[in-house]
């Protein structure tokens, strides 16, 4: 992990286009920005006919 005293490039802003975000993470490691993360909760709505096995769908649920 990067030294906390070492200057890091800023993470792209929330309004950055997906290409800018992708270019940033192609050249940077999340390990260097772990202190900027936080836990989130979200829901996934799987529709029937998806290409998942019942076990996979249950694991995601």
> Which residues, given as ranges, of the chain have pLDDT below 70?
1-5, 46, 48-50, 61
The reply to whether the predicted model has a pTM over 0.75 is no
Amino acid 49: pLDDT: 57
**Structural domain boundaries enclosing 27:** 18-60
The structural domain count of the chain equals: 1
Torsion angle in degrees (nearest 10) through CA of 11, 16, 22, 26 = -30
pLDDT given at position 48: 62
| 28 is a domain residue | yes
In a domain, 29, yes or no: yes
- Contact present, 36 and 11 (Cβ < 8 Å): yes
Residue 28, judged by CB atoms within 10 A of its CB (0-12, 13-18, 19+), counts as middle
pLDDT at 7: 87
Is 1 part of a structural domain of the chain?
A: no
Residue 35 lies in a domain: yes
In a domain, 8, yes or no: no
């Amino acid at each position: 992990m990067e030294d906390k005293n070492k200057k890091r490039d800023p993470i792209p802003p929330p309004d950055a286009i997906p290409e800018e975000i992708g270019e940033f993470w192609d050249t940077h490691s999340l390990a260097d920005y772990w202190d900027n993360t936080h836990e989130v909760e979200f829901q996934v709505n799987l529709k029937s006919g998806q290409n998942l096995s019942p076990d996979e769908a249950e694991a995601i649920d």
